[in-house]
Structure 1
Amino acid sequence: MAPPPEFLEELYKTSVGFRTNIRAYNSILAFTSIGAKIDHSVTSGNGPYTFRIHGQNHHQIGSLLPVEGRPPQFAQLYIYDTANEVRNRMSTLSRTSNAGDLDEKIVTGLIQMMDNFNCLAKIFRKAGDRYELGDVSNFSITLVEQKRRGKQYEMPVSEEIVGLIIGDMSTTTGERDVVLQFKLSSHLQRISDLHPLFMSLQYPLLFPYGQYGFHEGIQYTNERNKIKRSFVTIREFYAYQIQTRLSEGMTIVKGGRLFQQYVVDAYTAIEQERIRWMRNNQKTLRADLYNNVFDAVDKGDTNAKVLGRRVILPPTFTGGPRYMVENYHDAMAICRWFGNPDLFVTVTANPKWQEISDHLKAYGGESANDRPDIECRVFKMKLDDLLSDLNESIFFPKPIAVIYTIEFQKRGLPHAHILIWLDPMYKSPTANDIDHLISAELPDKETDFEGFKLVEQHMMHGPCGLDRPRSPCMEKGICTKRYPRPYTEHTTVDKSGYIIYRRRKDMSRFVMKGDVRLDNRFVVPHNLAILKKYKAHINVEWCSKSTAIKYLFKYITKGVDKTTIIIRKGTRETMFTEWMNTNKQYKEATQLTYVEFPTKYVWNNTVTTKSIQLMVSNIIHSKMLAKLEDYLMMIMNGVKQ
């Protein structure tokens, strides 16, 4: 990517107002509108800026001229009433709170920059010139979908990507070409997310030259010829594009709040392409095993009038219902085999991590919030390191099983929930065992100053309650996290199985949050050794005695509690048929149920061999309405051959 124009580069470096309102400046220059519903509940307030949308995302563009009686918008501003263009553009934000924050000089400079460098703006200006000269003949602008030139990184030329066509153009229009008619119309066209100009039309400040973006014809280099497919995927393209490279222009990654919007836009484009592929490849996915009558019977639908064709998302679709169900049942299978988990750990990203700060210093950026991609990458590195430490029994006894899931907070920071199973000897821990691993107290400031400061910074809840009744944790005048906790001299277990950690009353151990004094009653349970190494909010809870194990599993997988297994007649080799064949061949196999089978054997698509490591399996739930399948499941769970 080429360096940005000098005017834009200078704004990034010197104008705080421009960086703060960059989304507004981009909006008044954009050629298209964004169709998603923006969640403003997280875009305002005192917390870090977060861009979040609801519903399907799409970009739209209208006719070249506005309908009579309506002001021009988006691409129309490049053609209609250009004598008052600055005022017209700024007036499009007159109903928003940040309209008065825009600088007229900056708007004027950005318009001139677009006219000088943006190939899309140039072709729209040509249409504007024809209109101002009174030439109202039948012409249109066509945004060409097929890339008709050389290398991806070459600077664009307007004639190659946009056409000003006079007369009838229907015979030369491509499948995804966008044709903008001169005639007045309120009809809006959707731009395909696979159109090469999909992003350039929406983000002129990130693509000031009107560059081509992703298209389906980008080939791999020779170094990647081991990959079976020939062309770059949409996910690979956007993942490559947001990397920091000193040898190229960094217009995108320096976009701040606009960069956040762009990342969300790119993510939705990737998801839409994945869903589109699954919709068009239902036979490949063998969706007939899931859909129509089978799923309907599972739900109890017996009225044929309500049945119809549905598109099935397989378990491989991350975040889909079957994905969640599969992960939930896998977690419950581990729980069935090893018993209740012992530790529940929550790890939250720290935007002040040294790795993030070093990157911002080296490559530019005011705060970590400007680079959510770096926050996520560093968080994943830290999480992998923590999991490695857990497996090497650095902080806790060596685990026999670990599962985790990664989520994002309301304000955007990633965090992980981890369940850990320890050796069976820890199933009935003593108070000393728990105190050795988990602390809910402030360290002594004199003997452990580092630990004290880390707990103060990362592990103190509040203030809330009467000291701050409007705290986010407050609901109906009560803290939903149950703080402040009562003082306790010794760690105990209540009748529900929850651990009541030791919180001794020591008036010398406290921290000040503003003018509020917080003591041991507000300390979040933690492991001090983990806290010292990872320097982030890491909550550690003992949960082996809890009666809420099912809640914990559903909490970390966010799935429902059932799905369906469908058994059909046929001769194709499956795990089920090979299970029966193996019982015929090996006497020891007859002593195992279907669920126990992976502990001794593993199926490699066509052959069953002896397993060299412990494997845990599960059979997902079948509704009682499917009686034959349910009876079969009961046999497979409890009967040996």
Structure 2
Amino acid sequence: MKRKGGPHSKECEKPAKMVKNNQICNPTRQSTKMARLERRIKLQAKKMRQLSIINGEVPDRATILEEQLLIHVKDKAKEARLYRKRKMQSKRVAETTTENEAMIGQAGKTTRTKSNKRCTTSKSRRKKKTPDMTLERTDMEIWNFGEPSCKCERCGAIFWYEETTSGRARRMPSFRLCCQQGKVDLPPFREPPAYLTKLLRKDNGKRSKNYMQNIRLYNSMFAFTTMGGKVDTEINNGGGPYVFRMNGQNYHRIGTLLPEGEDKPRWAQLYIYDTENEVKNRINASTSEDKRESIDPHIVEGLKNMLDRNNILAKTFRMARDRFEEGDYHNVRLKLINKRRTDVRRNDMPSATEVVALIVNDTAENRKGRDIIVQYRDTRPRRISEKHPKFMAMQYPLLFPYGEDGYRENIPYILKEGAKCKRKHVTMLEYYAYRIQQRTNQSMHLLMCEKLTLQFIVDALACILQYRLDWIKTHQGNLRTELYAGLQDTIDRGDTRADQVGKRILLPSTFTDSPRYKAQNFQDAMAICRWAGYPDLFVTFTCNTAWPEIQAMLQEVGQTAYERPDIVDRVFHIKLKEFMRDIRERGYFGKTLAIIYTIEFQKRGLPHAHIVIFLDKKEKKHKYPEPPEVDRVTCAEIPDKDIDPEGYAAVENYMIHGPCGAANTKSPCMVDNRCMRC
């Protein structure tokens, strides 16, 4: 990304400072000193001129001295003007900076950060530093905001300084992406069992490599529930990075305690039925014949023993197995309790009596609220609520090896005394946003499982959307849908017959991708066009996973960009905001009236923005009247390697197709041994 101007975006409110003879001086004070010096030398020259006249001499010496003084003063004034001009171009170079030693990475590793903006985690007084004029950058210099140098003072999440909450002048930076500025407080994750930690190490031989390559298969073997969405497997047929994409409605279902008739055991039944051949049953139930060769039975055996020792859900179903082995299995049901008596902010591992109840010889339904009732037999798989505390733990036993509680309703906010907030409890979006943050004071197991982590993030997003849709469905009165459910909406839906018009759920414009959301944004864009006229520039801003900021964050934990889409999206958002400042505030293309942009995601998950720019009509006539002026902002040729090496390298790496064909038969563009683009 290329930008114009200095490393800062806001102009200093304090007077600019100049560096002279290794000292800091104020331009106003400097000009006062220069005026005093000028008056002193003029007075000396006047006395010398009078003395020369009295002595009958020609006042050449005094005149020369005065002329030299005026030349010296003009030079100093010119230097001051040039300095102020450079300060106005860089705008924020004169802001004070501080040195910071940020705790980055695992095991409390200390890293000295060298980014333009600094952040400190201590409350010590910040020392002012002499502004360095070498920080000024040219138009062709790439903007790099460095490694993440800040930590949330409340929850310890790692951030870049550029992610601070806007509009807040604070000594300590504040962030909302993690804990909503301290309102969300959840217990930290525990370190996973030793056997699981050993399998996650990439340098631990073939067994660890096999586990990481097939981690989703191993997780499905021990999952208590099944997913209802359809996973798109064709997207990964090429040679690009792995992508997890799901189509259709996603939901989790749980079956009965025992299989029906001659059916083979599956899901939670594998914890109860025929446990003597459990390893073989799990491999056969979760994989097809062509994938069974890639499964290591020793890993399956080790995972089974690990979960039996640590997972509270596995212990629960083993308890039901012991009951069946005693012969008392008629009318036995298992109830997974939804309500908790303990505070989830202090303990994510409730007692066994809070998790499960074994129901024997009770013909009543015994289903209260969102409790999960696992029947003995003769029932179809049932869908479980995404608001149940064990919803995620039952689907991802390898991500939650202890069976920890997940999101549940009525998790209270942590509010300061006297603080007011309309919402009193943590939402599902805030819960998962807190969980996927990287912190040095807790386990990163949830973020280190590669393909399984991607599946978890997609599943969590589906739960959040379903949670919002359920709220909209039950709060149509709060949204006042009767005010905009009129004739035009009926026609848009295709209901042309009055006898067929019934009650429907209307989605508000605040729900992303709803019809009203699209219509509102379209009308806003058209209103801007009517006011500002036709757009002048169309710019596409793309994301590059090789950006040094992304690589610096990933190197701390030894991961790649496809494993951490959250980091890629965060860096893209920071750079996009800075690019918008270049266009809007710094006037890189000229005075801007309006900007409209939309963010899309490519097939491989990388974001990109399409930007439409409306320039000021008064500047259009002399801004881009001729082709040379247009060529100043756009170019459709390969840059010269000697004049612009950075531009040439960027075009060569990202804009030139190939190699393909016989040189690279595995290229994504190759179909039937032939390139689709050539």
TM over 0.5: yes
Partner of 1:274: 468
Task: Indicate conservation of the 8 Å contact 2:256/2:375, yes or no.
Answer: yes
Partner of 1:12: 200
Give SS of 2:400's match.
coil
Q: CA deviation at 1:100?
A: 2.2
Task: Indicate conservation of the 8 Å contact 1:61/1:190, yes or no.
Answer: yes
Summarize the Cα distance change of 1:79–1:478 in structure 2 as closer, same or farther, 3 Å threshold: closer
Q: CA deviation at 1:140?
A: 1.2
Summarize the Cα distance change of 1:304–1:476 in structure 2 as closer, same or farther, 3 Å threshold: farther
Q: Which has the larger radius of gyration?
A: 2
Partner of 1:253: 447
Partner of 2:497: 303
Residues 384-422 of structure 1, C-alpha deviations (whole Å, 9 max, x = no match): 111112113364223211111111111111111111112
Give SS of 2:388's match.
coil
Task: Indicate conservation of the 8 Å contact 1:194/1:215, yes or no.
Answer: yes
Q: CA deviation at 1:172?
A: 5.2
Residues 198-238 of structure 1, C-alpha deviations (whole Å, 9 max, x = no match): 10000101111111100112111134944221110111001
- Given the alignment, which residue of 449, 455, 466 partners 2:651? 455
Partner of 2:583: 390
1:102 and 2:295 are equivalent in the alignment: yes
Q: Which runs of 5+ in 1 are unaligned?
A: 485-641
Partner of 2:249: 56
Task: Indicate conservation of the 8 Å contact 1:393/1:399, yes or no.
Answer: no
1:107-118 mapped onto 2 (5 Å cutoff): 107-118=300-311
Once residues 478 and 199 of structure 1 are traced to their aligned partners in structure 2, the CA distance between those partners, rounded to angstroms, is 44
Q: CA deviation at 1:30?
A: 0.3
1:314 and 2:508 are equivalent in the alignment: yes
Give SS of 2:447's match.
coil
Once residues 531 and 661 of structure 2 are traced to their aligned partners in structure 1, the CA distance between those partners, rounded to angstroms, is 42
Q: CA deviation at 1:87?
A: 0.6
Task: Indicate conservation of the 8 Å contact 1:291/1:310, yes or no.
Answer: no
Partner of 1:36: 229
Letter in 1 for 2:298: K
Partner of 1:430: 626
Q: Report the TM-score when normalising by structure 2.
A: 0.67
Letter in 2 for 1:274: R
Summarize the Cα distance change of 1:57–1:391 in structure 2 as closer, same or farther, 3 Å threshold: same
Once residues 466 and 417 of structure 1 are traced to their aligned partners in structure 2, the CA distance between those partners, rounded to angstroms, is 35
Q: Which runs of 5+ in 2 are unaligned?
A: 1-188
- Given the alignment, which residue of 167, 171, 195 partners 2:388? 195
Summarize the Cα distance change of 1:389–1:19 in structure 2 as closer, same or farther, 3 Å threshold: same
Q: CA deviation at 1:169?
A: 7.3
Once residues 671 and 526 of structure 2 are traced to their aligned partners in structure 1, the CA distance between those partners, rounded to angstroms, is 32
Letter in 2 for 1:202: Q
After TM superposition, the structure 1 stretch with the greater mean CA deviation from structure 2, 435-444 or 41-50, is: 41-50
Partner of 1:164: 358
Q: CA deviation at 1:469?
A: 11
Task: Indicate conservation of the 8 Å contact 1:156/1:210, yes or no.
Answer: no
1:37-436 mapped onto 2 (5 Å cutoff): 37-95=230-288, 97-154=290-347, 155-168=349-362, 170=364, 173-182=367-376, 184-223=377-416, 225-291=419-485, 293-297=487-491, 301-362=495-556, 364-393=557-586, 395-424=588-617, 425-426=619-620, 429-436=625-632
Q: Report the TM-score when normalising by structure 1.
A: 0.70
Letter in 1 for 2:253: Q
Q: CA deviation at 1:279?
A: 1.1
Letter in 1 for 2:655: M
Once residues 299 and 23 of structure 1 are traced to their aligned partners in structure 2, the CA distance between those partners, rounded to angstroms, is 41
Once residues 602 and 421 of structure 2 are traced to their aligned partners in structure 1, the CA distance between those partners, rounded to angstroms, is 36
Summarize the Cα distance change of 1:357–1:264 in structure 2 as closer, same or farther, 3 Å threshold: same
Task: Indicate conservation of the 8 Å contact 1:123/1:162, yes or no.
Answer: yes
Task: Indicate conservation of the 8 Å contact 1:253/1:259, yes or no.
Answer: yes
- Number of aligned positions between the proteins: 480
Give SS of 1:92's match.
helix
Once residues 420 and 338 of structure 1 are traced to their aligned partners in structure 2, the CA distance between those partners, rounded to angstroms, is 10
After TM superposition, the structure 1 stretch with the greater mean CA deviation from structure 2, 125-134 or 462-471, is: 462-471
Task: Indicate conservation of the 8 Å contact 1:119/1:157, yes or no.
Answer: no
Q: CA deviation at 1:32?
A: 0.2
Give SS of 2:539's match.
strand
After TM superposition, the structure 1 stretch with the greater mean CA deviation from structure 2, 234-243 or 43-52, is: 43-52
Partner of 1:2: 190
Give SS of 1:19's match.
helix
Give SS of 1:116's match.
helix
Task: Indicate conservation of the 8 Å contact 1:62/1:185, yes or no.
Answer: no
Summarize the Cα distance change of 1:247–1:126 in structure 2 as closer, same or farther, 3 Å threshold: same
Summarize the Cα distance change of 1:132–1:357 in structure 2 as closer, same or farther, 3 Å threshold: same
Summarize the Cα distance change of 1:463–1:291 in structure 2 as closer, same or farther, 3 Å threshold: farther
Task: Indicate conservation of the 8 Å contact 1:123/1:164, yes or no.
Answer: no
